[in-house]
Structure 1
Amino acid sequence: MIELLKDFPSNVVALSADGQVSREDYQKVVVPAVERAFNQHEKVRLYYKIGKDFTGIDIGAMWADTKVGMGHFFRWERIAVITDVDWIKHSVMAFGFLMPAQVNVYSIAEADDARKWISAT
């Protein structure tokens, strides 16, 4: 399940994922939030908190994630991934350099630091 987090600047799409993430989550939550942000801003930032209860992402959600990310590939400005899930941390650190955006990984305990960084002007 993915939920939209509130109280972030309008150029930040802030999400929290727990449990199993589905294609429906992307269609109902992620895609509308991302499209709304890109309609308002040339560059958009992503705050993505992945909780310890995260169990995975289904193939439909992976495809939707790829389409959303690649559809605006050069318009992402910053990406903060907040998680204590080791394989996600290591994957983002290993492949984050492929993104044209600045990508930082934070632990759950560092969520406030991530929020400050993603919101900074």
Structure 2
Amino acid sequence: MFKILTDLPDRVLAVSAVGKITADDYEKVLMPMVEEKLTKYGKVRILYQIGNEFNTFSMMALWDDAKFGLAHWKDWEKIAVVSNIGWLRGTIWTFKWLMPSKFKLFQNAKLEQAKQWICGDRL
């Protein structure tokens, strides 16, 4: 499931992955929240933490993530991913140059820096 991080400005969508992330989590929680931010602000800033409370993604969740990310390719203003998971960091690092938005990868110990970065510039 997604835990919503509420200590950031409204313009920033901040979530933490907890337990197993399923397609339902994307379809019923994350996607509607992104759509709401798009309607309200035109672009989305997202902080996505995959920390110690995370277990795994279902295959359909990974598919939904990729499909949704591509569908909104130009709608991301800034993306901060916070995780210590090696395979995930490696995958993100490999493809980050394709991102049309500002993007930064942080270790979990740097969550506060990630929050500052995602809120930086003009909000």
- TM-score, normalised to structure 1, is 0.91
Q: Which moved more, 1:86-95 or 1:111-120?
A: 86-95
3-state SS of paired residue (1:8): coil
- Following TM superposition, where does structure 1 have runs of at least 4 consecutive aligned residues deviating by more than 3 angstroms? none
Shift of 1:119: 0.7
Deviation string for 1:45-94 (max 9, x for gaps)? 11000013423211221232123212221110111010111111121111
- Structure 1 unaligned segments of length 5 or more: list them: none
| Count of residue pairs the alignment pairs up | 121
The TM-score, its normalising length taken from structure 2, stands at 0.89
Aligned to 1:110, the other structure's residue is in SS state helix
Q: Percent identity of the aligned residues?
A: 36
Whole-Å separation in 1 of the counterparts to 2:77 and 2:37 = 12
Equivalent residues in 2 for 1:1-121, closer than 5 Å: 1-120=1-120, 121=122
- Quick one: distance in 2 between partners of 1:23 and 1:59? 8
1:10-62 per-residue CA deviation (whole Å, 9 max, x = no partner) reads 22111100221101111221011101100011221110000134232112212
CA RMSD of aligned residues (A): 1.4
